[in-house]
Amino acid sequence: VLNLILNAIEAMNCLDVGGRELRISTAADASNLVVVAVRDTGPGLDVAIVDRLFEPFYTTKPDGTGLGLSICQSIIEAHGGRLWTGANEPRGAVFQFSLPSEQG
């Protein structure tokens, strides 16, 4: 979660104008999964690179290692979950992950 939050903050740092908003939410879905969403109002994601974001050593940051999202994905999948991304409307990106609930 911390990596997703820091990525969102860094994405919004490049904005010259407009509000910056970071929203973190949790919910339970009908499949007994807990879903966590980290939304930002940064510049959003380039659709041309979205498929590569979770590849090891792929980065969009000048000083990035390209390991953060790959490690996040590995940890979430090791616990039976899934990590994905999309657009935050009207501006920005949302990274979401789901994990099985212990209740059920």
Q: How do the domains of the chain map onto residue ranges?
A: 2-100
CA nearest neighbour of 32 among 74, 81, 83? 81
Can you give the pLDDT at residue 103? 60
Can you give the pLDDT at residue 18? 74
Mean pLDDT across 20-42: 95
Longest dimension (CA), the chain: 46
DSSP 51: G
Select from 2.30.40.10, 3.40.50.300, 3.40.50.2300, 3.30.565.10 the CATH code of 2-100: 3.30.565.10
Can you give the pLDDT at residue 92? 95
Share of the chain above pLDDT 90, in %: 75
Is pLDDT above 80 for 40?
Answer: yes
Q: Convert the pLDDT of each residue in 54-78 to its tens digit.
A: 999 988 888 888 899 999 999 999 9
